[in-house]
Amino acid sequence: MDSRLTAELSSALTCTQSRRMENPTMAMIESETRTLQGTCPDHGHVLAVKEVPKIKFPFLITGPARGLAALRPYRCPECGAKVS
Ligand SMILES: [Zn+2]
């Protein structure tokens, strides 16, 4: 009885985990350096870069973190100025 309950519990846990992995939002949470063709005031056309945090924790944490990263400007790799 006990071992069967344990098996059911672990299978339920596995189910929950795999379902979470299937969530496309969770799957997207990885380390990434985003780049964008932009215009630096000093350097003209540059490939601007932006770091998006790599946090593999609950969405309550990663969601806002990624939201903030999305709002942060891309920056010139030469001087760090915002590009437009
Ligand atoms: Zn620059």
Give the closest residue to 28 by CA, choosing from 51, 5, 1, 62. Answer: 62
For residue 48, is pLDDT > 90?
yes
**For the chain, what percent of residues have pLDDT higher than 90?**
27
What whole-number distance in Å separates Cα of residue 22 and Cα of residue 41? Answer: 42
Helices vs. strands in the chain: H and E counts, helices first: 3, 2
Q: Report how far ligand 1's centroid is from the alpha carbon of 37 (Å).
A: 12
Domain count, the chain: 2
Q: What pLDDT is stored for residue 71 in this prediction?
A: 81
For residues 13 and 41, membership in a common domain is answered with no
Exposure string (b/e) for 12-23, b if CB count within 10 Å is 16 or more?
eeeeeeeeeeee
CA of 29 to the centre of ligand 1 (A): 29
Domain housing 70: 31-84
pLDDT for 11 equals: 59
Rounded-to-5 percentages of helix, strand, coil across the chain: 45, 25, 30
80/43 same-domain check: yes
One domain for residues 69 and 43: yes
Do 38 and 24 share a structural domain? no
Domain match, 24 and 47 both: no
d(CA 44, ligand 1 centre) in Å:
7
Range with lowest mean pLDDT among 23-32, 38-47, 61-70: 23-32
